[in-house]
Chain A
Amino acid sequence: MPLLHVKNMTHYFGGLRAVHNYNLGIEPGQIMGLIGPNGAGKTTIFNLITGIYSPTEGNILLDGNNIIGLQPYQIAAMGLGRTFQNLQLWRHMTVLEHVKMARYSKITYGLIGAFFGTPKRHREEAEIEERAYSLLELVGVQHLAGQIVTNLPYGALRRVEMARALATEPKVLFLDEPTAGMNPEELIQMMQIIRGVHKELGLAIFLIEHRMKFVMELCHYVQTLVFGKVIAEGTPDEIQNNPKVIEAYLGKETVT
Chain B
Amino acid sequence: MLPGTILYILLIYILPIGIIAKLGASVANKAAAQLLNFPMWVSVIIHLGLLYATLHIWSDINAYRVLILRLTLVAIMLTVSLNVINGYMGEFSCSHPGFMALGAYVTSVFTVFLFVDDKVFGDALLQPTLGPFLFPIALIFGGIVAALGALIVAIPSFRTRGDYLAIISLAFTFIVKSLIENLEFVGGPRGLGSQPDWANLPTVFIWTILCIWIINNFVRSTLGKALNAVRDDEMAANAMTVNTRNTKMTAFLFSAFWAGVAGGLFAHVLRYVNPGTFSLQKLAEVLAMVYFGGLNSVIGSMVGAVGFNLLSEALRPLEIYKWIIIPVMLILVMIFRPTGLIAFKELDIKSIIKPKQKDEKVEIEHAVASR
A18 within 8 Å of B (CB atoms): no
Residues on A with C-beta less than 8 A from B296 are: 92
In the complex, are the beta carbons of B222 and A100 less than 8 A apart?
A: yes
Q: CB-CB contacts of B100-119 with A at 8 A, as 1s and 0s?
A: 00000000000000000000
Residues on A with C-beta less than 8 A from B250 are: 111
In the complex, are the beta carbons of B217 and A115 less than 8 A apart?
A: yes
- Selected from A88, A92, A116, A128, the residue in CB contact (under 8 A) with B236 is A88
In the complex, are the beta carbons of A104 and B232 less than 8 A apart?
A: no
A107 within 8 Å of B (CB atoms): yes
Q: CB-CB contacts of A68-112 with B at 8 A, as 1s and 0s?
A: 000111001100011010001111110001001111111101110
In the complex, are the beta carbons of A92 and B228 less than 8 A apart?
A: yes
In the complex, are the beta carbons of B229 and A90 less than 8 A apart?
A: yes
In the complex, are the beta carbons of A168 and B221 less than 8 A apart?
A: no
Q: CB-CB contacts of A50-76 with B at 8 A, as 1s and 0s?
A: 101000000000000000000111001
Residues on A with C-beta less than 8 A from B237 are: 73, 90, 101
Surface stretch bound by A, among B72-80, B195-203, B238-246, B281-289: B238-246
A152 within 8 Å of B (CB atoms): no
B164 within 8 Å of A (CB atoms): no
In the complex, are the beta carbons of B232 and A90 less than 8 A apart?
A: yes
In the complex, are the beta carbons of A115 and B222 less than 8 A apart?
A: no
A125 within 8 Å of B (CB atoms): yes
Q: A101-B225, A103-B222, A114-B217 are in contact. Are A84 and B240 (CB under 8 A)?
A: no
CA distance A82 to B218 in the complex (A): 27
Q: A90-B232, A92-B344, A93-B228 are in contact. Are A111 and B239 (CB under 8 A)?
A: no
CA distance A111 to B231 in the complex (A): 20
Q: Smallest distance from the beta carbon of B261 to chain A beta carbons, Å?
A: 14
Residues on A with C-beta less than 8 A from B232 are: 89-93
Among B148-192, those with CB < 8 Å from A are none
In the complex, are the beta carbons of B221 and A113 less than 8 A apart?
A: yes
CA distance A111 to B257 in the complex (A): 14
Residues on B with C-beta less than 8 A from A125 are: 221-222
Chain A binding surface SS class: helix
CA distance A222 to B214 in the complex (A): 52
Q: A73-B241, A88-B235, A115-B214 are in contact. Are A93 and B225 (CB under 8 A)?
A: yes
* Chain A residues within 8 Å of chain B by Cβ, number: 40
In the complex, are the beta carbons of B236 and A73 less than 8 A apart?
A: no
In the complex, are the beta carbons of A89 and B241 less than 8 A apart?
A: no
Q: For residue B216, which residue of chain A has the nearest CB?
A: A117
CA distance A76 to B228 in the complex (A): 19
In the complex, are the beta carbons of A107 and B222 less than 8 A apart?
A: yes
* Chain B residues within 8 Å of chain A by Cβ, number: 27
In the complex, are the beta carbons of B241 and A114 less than 8 A apart?
A: no
In the complex, are the beta carbons of B221 and A164 less than 8 A apart?
A: no
CA distance A135 to B237 in the complex (A): 18
In the complex, are the beta carbons of B239 and A114 less than 8 A apart?
A: no
Residues on B with C-beta less than 8 A from A81 are: 239
Q: A92-B228, A104-B242 are in contact. Are A114 and B218 (CB under 8 A)?
A: yes
B319 within 8 Å of A (CB atoms): no
A121 within 8 Å of B (CB atoms): yes
CA distance A176 to B203 in the complex (A): 55
In the complex, are the beta carbons of A89 and B236 less than 8 A apart?
A: yes
Residues on B with C-beta less than 8 A from A111 are: 223, 250
Interface centre among A50, A101, A102, A121 (most CB of B within 10 A): A101
In the complex, are the beta carbons of A114 and B223 less than 8 A apart?
A: yes
Q: For residue A87, which residue of chain B has the nearest CB?
A: B236
B275 within 8 Å of A (CB atoms): no
In the complex, are the beta carbons of A107 and B223 less than 8 A apart?
A: yes
Among B250-303, those with CB < 8 Å from A are 250, 296
Residues on B with C-beta less than 8 A from A101 are: 222, 225-226, 229, 237, 240, 242
CA distance A167 to B232 in the complex (A): 19
Q: CB-CB contacts of A133-173 with B at 8 A, as 1s and 0s?
A: 00000000000000000000000000000001101100000
Q: A92-B344, A101-B229, A104-B226 are in contact. Are A115 and B240 (CB under 8 A)?
A: no
Q: Smallest distance from the beta carbon of B210 to chain A beta carbons, Å?
A: 10
Q: Smallest distance from the beta carbon of A242 to chain B beta carbons, Å?
A: 33
In the complex, are the beta carbons of B217 and A117 less than 8 A apart?
A: yes
Residues on A with C-beta less than 8 A from B233 are: 88-91
Q: CB-CB contacts of B62-82 with A at 8 A, as 1s and 0s?
A: 000000000000000000000
Q: A101-B222, A107-B223 are in contact. Are A90 and B228 (CB under 8 A)?
A: yes
Residues on B with C-beta less than 8 A from A91 are: 232-233
8 nearest A-B residue pairs (beta carbon): A90-B232, A105-B241, A88-B236, A114-B221, A102-B240, A72-B238, A114-B223, A77-B241
Interchain Cβ contacts under 8 Å between A and B, 28 examples = A50-B239, A52-B238, A52-B239, A73-B237, A73-B241, A76-B239, A76-B240, A84-B239, A88-B236, A90-B228, A90-B233, A90-B236, A92-B344, A101-B226, A102-B240, A102-B241, A103-B222, A104-B223, A104-B243, A107-B222, A107-B223, A110-B223, A113-B221, A114-B223, A115-B214, A115-B218, A116-B217, A117-B221
